[in-house]
Amino acid sequence: MSTILQIPNIPPYKRAPFVIALAGTSLAISLLYTPLPVVLLLAVPFFFYFIPRPFDLLLLMVFLIPFNFVFTIGSIPVAFELLKIVLWIPFLLSRREHGHSLRTSRYNWCFGILIGLSLLSILRSQELPFTVKEVVRFLSNIGLYYLVLNLVDSREKVTRILRVLMISVFIVACYGFYQFVIQDYGALFWIVNPRLTTSVAHYRDIFWPWRNRMISVLTSEMEMGHYFNLCLPIAVALWLSEGRGRLYSKWLMIAVAIFAGLLLTFTFAAWLALAATGTLFVLLFDKKRRWKLAFGELSAVVVAILLCVYGPLRPLVEDRLFGSSQASLGFDILTRLRMWIFAVQTWWSHPFIGVGLGNYQNLSWVVNFGQTTDISSNAGSTPHQFYLNLLVTLGVVGTACVMLVMLYSIRTNVALRASPQFGLLALALAFAITTNMFGGFGDDSNMFSPHAGYLLWMLLGLSETLHLLAAQRTADHKIAIS
C-alpha cells in the first residue's frame, strides 16, 4: 500500500514534496494565531501521519528551512527548526520496527569532540537560556547530519531532497523580488519572524528598518546571500542533469532567480565568495577550457558591474559603496574591524576550547544597532567572521574538527566528479561548501544562523551519503564481477 497521498495523474515522486510542503506551511501559519489546545489538536494527526514516514518529514523540513516559523507556548518561543529533533522520533521507531542498524560517519570522533565542547558550554554559561538555545541548535544540526545519512539511501532520494530545496528557495527568491518592489519587508516576513521579547534569543523584539537589500523571510541580508550561494550550484546541477541544459527548463529559471536574488542582497562577501569559487573550480577542474571559461566568468562580472553602474540600481549601489548609513560598506568595515579585534583578544584568553557556544555575545562590547552597548545589557554580537567565531566559541580543538569535516567533504565530493551517477551532484555539493567557506571570511551567518547553517549541515550529510552510496555501488560491482 502506498504511503503517499493518492492524487490522480501525478507521479508519487512529484506529488509528495508539494503535498507535505503545503500542509506544513498551512500548519505553521495556523500556529501563530491559535491557542495551545488547537495547536495540539493539529499536531496529533500531523504526528501520526509522519511516524511511519520519516523521509517525508525530512522533505517537509527541507522545504521549511527558510520558513523558520516562530510561535510561543506560554512565554517560551518555539521555532520550526526544532523539527530536526522531532524527526528522531519516527526515525528511531522505524529503525526499531525494521531492525536496521544506525549508519555512522567517518568523522564520528570529530562530532564526539564537538558534542563534548557544546555540553561544556552549558556548564560555563553566563546566560543559560541563550546558551542552551545555541547548543541545541548546533547539536541538532549535527543530529541532522546523521539523519540524512540514515534516511537517504539512494540517488533518487538525494535528488528528491534537492528538488524540494530548489522549489523552496525559488519561493524565497520570488518573495524577495516582491519585497524589492514594495520596498518593505511585507506581511510574510513578520509572520515567519514575529517580534518577541525573550532571553532565549537576542534582538527578537526589534529589527533593522528596511535597507533596500533583499532579505525575503530570512533574518539578515548576509545570511540570504550565503543561502543563495549554497543553492545556486545545486540548481545548475539539476538544470544540466534533469533539465538536460535546455533553455526552457524550470531549473534554469530557478538558477537565474537565485542569481538575481543574490545580486539584490548586496552582500559583497557572498559575491566575492561565488566569484572566487568559480575561478578556483574552473582553473583546477577544466584544464582544456579553463581560460575560455575564466574569460567568460570575467565577462559576466564586467557586465554585472556595468549594469550596477549604469542601470536602474545605480543609486542603491552608490549608497551601499559610498554612503554612511547602516547599510553602507563603510559602516560594515568599521564595525567588523572592531568585532574582529575583540574576537581575537577573547580567543587568546581561551585558545584551546574557546569560551563556549552562546557565551561570546555576553562578553562582547560592540556597535549594536548603531549604539554602544555594555556587558550588563546582554546585547552583544558575534564576530561576524566564520573562522573567528569558531575559534572564539570552540577554540582550536573545535575549529580543527569542523574544518576537517568540511574540507574532507569537499575532497570526497571532488573525487566523485568522474562518476556517471553521482559526479554532477557531488561536484555541485563541493562547489556549494567551498563557496560557503570563502564567504566565511566576511561573515559568520553561513554556519551560525537558523537557515544557512541548517542547510550547510544538511549538504555535508548529503556529501557523506553520496560517498557511502558510491562505495556501496563499487563493492556491489566487484562482487558481481567475481
- Residue 102 included in any domain: no
- Residue 11 included in any domain: no
Q: pLDDT (tens digit, 9 = 90+) per residue, 141-192? A: 999 999 999 999 899 999 999 999 999 999 999 999 999 899 999 989 988 8
- Residue 2 included in any domain: no
Q: pLDDT (tens digit, 9 = 90+) per residue, 187-217? A: 899 888 887 776 676 666 677 788 888 899 9
Residue 430 CB-half CA count within 13 A: 24
Residue 406: pLDDT band by 50, 70, 90 thresholds? very high
- Residue 237 included in any domain: yes
- Residue 382 included in any domain: yes
Task: Mark 131-160 as b/e (b = at least 16 C-beta within 10 Å).
Answer: bbbbbbbbbbbbbbbbbbbbbbbebebbbb
In which region does residue 353 sit, left (phi positive, over 0), alpha (psi from -120 to 50) or beta (all else)? alpha
Task: Enumerate residues 6+ apart whose C-beta is below 8 A from 246.
Answer: 252
The sign of the torsion formed by the CA atoms of 161, 164, 170, 175 equals negative
- Residue 67 included in any domain: no
- Collapsed DSSP state (helix, strand, coil) of residue 322: helix
Q: pLDDT (tens digit, 9 = 90+) per residue, 53-79? A: 899 999 999 999 999 888 776 667 778
Q: Burial of 425 by CB count in 10 Å (0-12 exposed, 13-18 middle, 19+ buried)?
A: buried
Number of domains in the chain: 1
CA–CA distance, 270 with 451 (Å, rounded to integer):
15
Between 177 and 50, the higher pLDDT residue: 177
CA–CA distance, 160 with 179 (Å, rounded to integer):
29
Which residues constitute the domain of residue 306? 108-481
Q: pLDDT (tens digit, 9 = 90+) per residue, 257-278? A: 999 999 899 888 899 999 899 8
- Residue 189 included in any domain: yes
Number of separate helices (H) and strands (E) present in the chain: 18, 4
Query: Which secondary structure element, helix H or strand E, spans residue 338, and what is its range?
Result: helix 329-349
**Residue the block writes with cell 523571510:** 217
- Residue 55 included in any domain: no
CA–CA distance, 407 with 429 (Å, rounded to integer):
12
